[in-house]
Structure 1
Amino acid sequence: MAGLIHPEDLETVRERSRIDDVVSSFVQLKPAGGGALVGLCPFHDEKTPSFRVTPSKGFYYCFGCGEGGDVIKFVQQINNMGFTEAVEFLADRVGIQLRYTDGDGGPRHEPGLRMRVLEANQLAAEFFAAQLASPHAVTGRVFLDGRGFTREHAEHFGIGFAPRGGRDLLNHLTAKKFTRDDLVKAGLVRESGWDFFQGRLVWPIRDAGRSTLGFGARRLFDDDRMPAKYLNTPETLVYKKSHVLYGLDLARTHIGKKNQAVVVEGYTDVMACHIAGVDTAVASCGTAFGADHSRMLSRLMTSDALAGEVVFTFDGDAAGQAAALKVFSSDATFTSQTYVAIEPTGLDPCDLRIQGGDAAVRELVARRVPLYRYVMKNTLEKYDLDRADGRLAAVRAAAPLVASVRDRSLVSEYLRELAGMVGMDTDTVRAEVQRANNRKVAPEPERGLRQEAPAEPAASGQVAMMELPDPSDRRIATERGVLKVMVQHPSLFPEDWGGITADDFQHPSYRRVFEVLTATDRNVGGFAQAVVDGMDDPVGQQLVVALSVEPLLAEPTGAYAREYAARLRLAHVVRDINDLKSRLQRTNPVEDQANYNRMFAQLLELETRRRALEQHAVGS
């Protein structure tokens, strides 16, 4: 079994893989002086180039989203690969045969195989697409027509037809000088020599760079020996179902531009959405949407986590509710806000387009609601919120949902939402959530309404350490960024630190650093070290050290500091606006007119403050 890549080969791959050559395959680069090249960042949407490549150093860096690294890191990110896969990809590209240590010394696959597999897939996609116009594919064309898709739609999405002969693709590609072994490894041909796809409609599954990784195929004929309605390419060197999303090649630019991704269930649903104008739609292929998929979408979003959206479409039945709960359990893997779009009739986007037209599909997405609110609402609907005991029971039922959130920076927001939905004091709700956190084993629902497990006291002398925030968490990137400027260049800020307060920080560790930082004399020599010394927690000290050495995104100036401070305060105001809007929606303007008017006036004031901060945040 192959082991680690030999260090000499690793360095050879780096040397021969010029970063400007590799990056220019995905990004249009232009000279920027000093030997550097610039272009539009492939990892977030932007109009002004902030993506910089320095060939002499072998590095890239985006001043807009902070992504950066060497040529291997770029391939990892752009192709969603692991480190070893990225090195092997580059080795194939430049013709290097890798050696492996701590193993048998042999390569994981023969040199050049990855490129041959991709080339075979591309030729297979062209072959299938041409076959769709043949007389043998009339059943497939009838199916597409019945789903509301035209010939132009089929061409746009690259839909094809796999002939029923059994060896048509094998014969076609062997004539192109591919060996049968290559085609088996590409998942196009079975070990027995038969074509993997026979008598089916075929959708090419491409990566963000439009390379064909594999295929998805739908059953058309009753005598198909494969009973599954949909069949996907088996796991191959380039096709891993947990790392691919159908429609990503078409949706990628739009996801970055609109800062939104819509996740649907099937190929025809993706097509229906794109045709209807929801051009950010994607779907998982042969597996449930998972953490790897969420990370793929996160890299395409902009750095503004407050604006980013991932919208899931589910049926309104019990199965749809269960799917929503499953996604909610992994909510912390998303850097953007998660939403759910439910069609009350139970129609999927494709059927909805057939019955209601393009506008109905757009309306489905427009009616999206926050995922956690949907899950909470379904939980609370089981209780009588007009009774005091019903409200308490509802909170206790919903508390484990809040307690299960792994991103602790979101808990406060969820607590406020839950308190507003049931009409209870936030402190009471917080206490119930804390009890849910302290339970070692969740009780049965009926018993949970009556039993309360007291919080276990900390062991003697035990100190609860701070939580070290994830530096790559884009939801709180502004908090980290402004603290870096404060620690490294405190003199850039006015006496009041640009109007920033501790409440502007969602993450408790960032909040604690700010509290210590503002209590430290900024005129003292070695300010960063003084802040480190002021932290009474080893994790907090580690965090301050990291903040003091991490690079800034731009040259530190007074204007830069003011804009950063405004961005942080803006995020707080946006959260307050969303909270107030939520409370307004739950308030009857007729029955509680005074309270409704008071909150509406507050909303107007917050909106005015938001507009002012938006201008400050961009330097106006």
Structure 2
Amino acid sequence: MAGRIRQSDVDEVKARTNIADIVGDHVSLKSAGVGSLKGLCPFHDERSPSFHVRPQLGYYHCFGCGESGDVYTFLQKMDHVTFAEAVERLAGRIAFELHYEDGGQASDHGNRARLLAANAAAAEFFEERLSSPGAEPGRRFLGERGFDAASAKHFGVGFAPKSWDELTKHLRSKGFRDEELAAAGLVSQGDRGVYDRFRGRLVWPIRDVTGQTVGFGARRLLDDDKGPKYLNTPETQIYHKAQVLYGLDVAKRDIARSQQVVVVEGYTDVMACHLAGVTTAVATCGTSFGVDHIKVLRRVLGDDSGIGEVIFTFDPDAAGEKAAMRAFAEEQRFAAQTFVAVAPEGLDPCDLRLARGDAAVRSIIEQRTPMFEFVIRHTLSRYDLETVEGRVAALRAAAPIVADIRDPSIRPGYARELARMLGVDLAEVSRAVASAGRRDRGTSTEAPAKGDAATAPATERPYSISDLPADPATRLERDALQAILQHSDILGPDLLHQAVDCRFGNQALAVVRDGIAANIDTLASPTGIDTLLADVPKPFAGLVQQLVVAPLPERTERELTAYVRGVVTALIDRELLRQKAELLGRLQRTDRTDVEAYGAVQRALVLVEADRRALRSE
């Protein structure tokens, strides 16, 4: 596995990437003046554009919702990838070879890129073969389950020919070596040599959250196929079944927008849900829903507010109930509320859509049951509630479930519900719940949630342009800093140094000025803003980002130059005027008989006036 990407490569990829090209894949950008673009924010709904991009500086900021950052931040938030994945994606986009530290090798990324390319070529091969005469069993399977050609195309469903090595030969002709195909899990090795792993099967491409194909799931169709019903890609460098969710690539935007995800059990269930209008459905790939899946979903959900929903669909049989209990065991890793949706008559979403239509699929999601209620009922079903002994045993088993509910506002409600189900006094249930809570959490039943959903410590509120007062003095300081950050190249070193020596009345802007002063020699470099952001105290970093992208009033190149130099000159002139006033006051207080002191103040006044004349002449 590759180690940490070299910082020099991170900087180089960023410098070679135009942030407007990346943002432009998601947002329609229009000119907002020289060097500035704007569009509707992709992070919140708005009618008028407040999302600004500065390609020259590589930053964006939304003045509506406050989202801001560089091209890596944008990819992380839009496509829900890690920082390293964002760097690797952009490096691949510009064909830049990355180098890794901490024991990793540059070839690791190259291998990964080759495996992804092999899978992409295989996905294209399978999809094309679905229309071949030999794929009739696959087309019949899809048709019997209510999926037409357009549905198959949307999800990239394909067919693996019933051939020993048709895929292998095809990929060899594309330049892939047998070792690469084996590393991608596309071929197996036998006594007769290399052969296709998937043969005579319907194939679904399994894509990661960025949409890249990392593996496949293949369904048995033919009677003479003695393999398992579903055969998946084995564990590879790019495919880890515990970390991927089928359908997440097409569902992620609706999941993030609605803050709801529906977890189903199979590929056809995902297809059925999406076609029925439940476009937040995903499925695990040949494994149980686990901790790594939760981590992936939390990133896509933005799972930190507790207002999201995770809805599990399970078959109403013993296996489904077992799966539900496994999911409940990890329930508290979510901040979102969790639910269970069970279709009537033992139907999964695909069969339900076939039997009763799209509305029935949407209905079971709408009529979901809270996870805690489902688990409590499942727990009580194991006991004979007609006997005293059965009710006592059931209470002992169910009380820890109620005690484990994160939200203290709904815990009493479940205690009352449990008392009703058991037919016992509420006080008896409350005592059992309190006792279970003390055993699980020590003396407190209000401990923070376990795992990733634990509450983070509060941080100081970040500063924003909107917090600045509207008086002319602060406005001049703000406009000057904007000009300096966005167009230091127009100013030159003399004006820059004079500007950062000026006194600022607004303390937040003074902190930004101090940061610029400390990094003035690198400000115009490709990583100058990054260095500044890392240097200023964290609450002020957002203010810097806003000043970097805030639109300037002038539009033509000539007007822009005049404006930038003019506003910075006005700031310096204000400082010189302050110095003049201070010197005049000192002159009045100086004893004229002290010739040396009086003369020194007079000479300082002359120098200030000379500086003002020179400044104005520029």
Tell me the TM-score range normalised by the shorter chain.
0.5 to 0.7
| Inter-CA distance 163–76: structure 2 relative to 1 (3 Å threshold) | same
Contact 1:269 1:348 (8 Å CA) reproduced? yes
Aligned residue identity for 1:224: D
Distance change >3 Å, CA 362–CA 467, structure 1 → 2: closer
- 2:509 paired residue number: none
Query: Do the aligned partners of residues 165 and 361 (structure 1) sit closer, same or farther apart at CA in structure 2, a change above 3 Å counting?
Result: same
Aligned to 2:288: 288
Say if 1:68 and 1:219 are closer, same or farther in 2 by CA, change over 3 A.
farther
Aligned residue for 1:16? 16
Match of residue 105 from structure 2 = 106
Deviation by residue 1:23-78 (Cα, 9 ceiling, x = unmatched): 43454444455745455565677776665544444444566776654434444455
**Where do residues 16-165 of structure 1 align in structure 2 (5 Å cutoff)?**
16-32=16-32, 35-39=35-39, 52-60=52-60, 69-103=69-103, 106-109=105-108, 111=110, 113-165=111-163
The CA deviation at 1:161 is: 0.5
Amino acid at match of 1:373: E
Supply the AA of the counterpart residue of 2:415: L
1:420 positional shift: 4.2
- CA offset digits 1:215-238 (Å, max 9, x no partner): 21111123335x221122233444
CA separation of 1:154/1:366 partners in 2, compared to 1, >3 Å: closer, same or farther? same
Structure-2 residue corresponding to 1:418: 415
Of 66-75 and 229-238, more deviation after overlay is shown by: 66-75
Give % identity. 49
Give the structure 1 partner of residue 251 of structure 2: 251
Residue number in structure 2 paired with 1:316: 316
Distance (whole Å) between structure 1 residues aligned to residue 328 and residue 364 of structure 2:
20
Distance 1:376 1:369 in 2: 11
Contact 1:484–1:547 (CA under 8 A) maintained in structure 2? no
Partner SS state of residue 87, structure 2: helix
The CA distance in 1 between the partners of 2:210 and 2:109, in whole Å, is 24
Shift of 1:258: 4.0
Distance in 2 separating the partners of 1:247 and 1:294: 15
CA distance in 2, matches of 1:367, 1:425: 29
What residue ranges of structure 2 are gaps of 5+ in the alignment? 470-536, 547-618
What's the CA shift string for 1:300-336, capped at 9, x where partnerless?
A: 4478956532211112233322222222222233243
TM-score with structure 1 setting the length: 0.64
**Paired residues for 1:376-455 under 5 Å:** 376-380=376-380, 394-404=394-404, 408=406, 410-422=407-419, 431-439=431-439
Instruction: Show the counterpart of 2:338.
Output: 338
Question: What's the CA shift for 1:341?
Answer: 0.7
* Alignment RMSD: 4.6
Cross-structure match for 1:201: 202
How far is 1:201 from its partner?
0.3
1:557-568 correspondence runs (5 A) = none
Larger deviation: 299-308 or 162-171? 299-308
Contact 1:395 1:418 in 2 (8 A): no
Structure 1: segments with no counterpart, 5+ residues: 442-454, 457-463, 493-545, 556-620
How far does residue 369 in structure 1 lie from its aligned partner after superposition?
Answer: 1.2
Over residues 107-134 of structure 1, what are the superposed CA-to-partner deviations in whole Å (9 max), with x where a residue is unaligned?
25254x4444444333322221221121
Aligned CA distance change for structure 1 residues 80 and 259 (closer, same or farther; 3 Å): closer
Residue in structure 2 matched with residue 607 of structure 1 by the alignment: none
Taking a change above 3 Å as real, the CA distance of residues 471 and 341 of structure 1, as seen in their structure-2 partners, is: closer
Report if the CA contact (8 A) 2:403-2:411 is conserved.
Answer: no
Residues 523-570 of structure 1: per-residue CA shift (max 9 Å, x gap): xxxxxxxxxxxxxxxxxxxxxxx9988969x99xxxxxxxxxxxxxxx
The whole-number CA distance in structure 1 between the counterparts of 2:429 and 2:64 is: 39
Q: Highest relative contact order (Cα 8 Å, sep 6+), 1 or 2?
A: 2
Q: Is the 8 A contact 1:168 1:195 kept in 2?
A: yes
Determine the C-alpha separation between the residues in 1 that align with 2:149 and 2:53.
42
Cα distance between partner residues in 2 of 1:37 and 1:303: 31
Q: Match for residue 218 of structure 1? A: 219
When residues 384 and 143 of structure 1 are mapped into structure 2, their CA distance, relative to the original with a 3 A threshold, is: closer
| CA gap 1:220/1:472 in 2 versus in 1, 3 angstroms | closer
CA shift for structure 1 position 266: 0.3
Cα deviation, residue 299, structure 1: 4.2
TM-score relative to the length of structure 2: 0.64
**1:375: which partner in 2?**
375
Q: 1:494-545: CA deviations, max 9, x gaps?
A: xxxxxxxxxxxxxxxxxxxxxxxxxxxxxxxxxxxxxxxxxxxxxxxxxxxx
One-letter amino acid of the counterpart of residue 240, structure 2: K
- Quote the offset at 1:350 in angstroms: 1.5
CA distance 1:436–1:183, shift in 2 (3 Å): same
Name whichever of 39-48 and 241-250 sits farther off.
39-48
Distance in 1, matches of 2:355 and 2:163, equals 36
What is the rounded CA distance, in whole Å, between the counterparts of 2:44 and 2:185 in structure 1? Answer: 32
Query: What secondary structure sits across from 2:340 in the alignment?
Result: strand
Q: Deviations over 1:462-505 (max 9, x none)?
A: xx9x97899996x989x979x9599xx99x9xxxxxxxxxxxxx
Distance 1:145 1:171, change over 3 A: same
Change (3 A) 1:467 1:319: closer
CA distance in 2 between partners of 1:23 and 1:339 (Å): 35
Deviations 1:184-219 (A, max 9, x none): 343333455322321110112234544333221111
Aligned length: 473
The 2-side partners of 1:548 and 1:393 are apart by 54
